[in-house]
Amino acid sequence: MAGGGAAQSSSGRKKANIQIIPLIDVVFFLLATFVLFTLSLNKIVSVPLDLPVAAPIDSKVSNADNAPLILQVTDAGIYFDKELITERELSPRLVNFVQQKRAKNQEARVLLAGDERAKFGPTVSALDQVRLVGVEQISVETIHRPTGK
């Protein structure tokens, strides 16, 4: 028998036969598709977030009154709201700042910044003093700010 199609019988009619090779190819294709599909069904794991809610415009406290205290650490000292002070002066001023905020029923907030010449030691010391006076909302600025601004 030459060729590979249907076989001919002695009477001259073509006899039907079942080719198993294409069936196996289709089954392997479906199996591979199923495996790849099930591997892509990984469960997405996420972290729950509590996103901040915008305050209404008619809030009781103005935005400028509730602005954070800016502490900028430099190689010359610490700027306490744009006024250059020493490390020893920082703690009493922070205590006074926190007392003023609590008297107004406001949350004391501090923004800790630095310039390009700020040293790590004084920055950590300033952060520790802010935490010791009871300030819970501390932000660290990560953009460049000119010295004393």
Residue 29 is predicted with a pLDDT of 95
Residue 24 is predicted with a pLDDT of 92
Lowest-pLDDT range of 14-28, 40-54, 55-69? 55-69
Query: Is residue 94 in a domain?
Result: yes
Whether 116 has a pLDDT exceeding 90, the answer reads no
pLDDT band with cut points at 50, 70 and 90 for residue 1 = very low
Considering its fold, how many domains does the chain have in total? 1
Query: Is residue 57 in a domain?
Result: no
Query: Is residue 53 in a domain?
Result: no
Per-residue DSSP letter, 10: T
Q: Which residue has the higher pLDDT, 2 or 105?
A: 105
**pLDDT mean across residues, the chain:** 80
How far is the C-alpha of 21 from the C-alpha of 38, rounded, in Å? 26
Whether 147 has a pLDDT exceeding 50, the answer reads yes
78 exposure class (CB count in 10 Å sphere: 0-12, 13-18, 19+): buried
Q: What are phi and psi of 54, to 5 degrees?
A: -65, 140
For 128, the 3-state DSSP assignment is helix
Nearest alpha carbon to residue 118 among 76, 84, 148: 76
Query: Is residue 96 in a domain?
Result: yes
Residue 52 is predicted with a pLDDT of 79
Residue 132 belongs to domain with CATH number: 3.30.420.270
Domain of 133? 69-140
Query: Is residue 129 in a domain?
Result: yes
What is the average pLDDT across 15-19? 82
Compute CA distances 2 → 6, 18, 67, 142, whole Å. 10, 17, 93, 80
Query: Is residue 25 in a domain?
Result: no
Whether 123 has a pLDDT exceeding 70, the answer reads yes
Query: Is residue 38 in a domain?
Result: no
What is this structure's pTM? 0.53
Query: Is residue 106 in a domain?
Result: yes
Pair 55, 95: CB distance under 8 Å: no
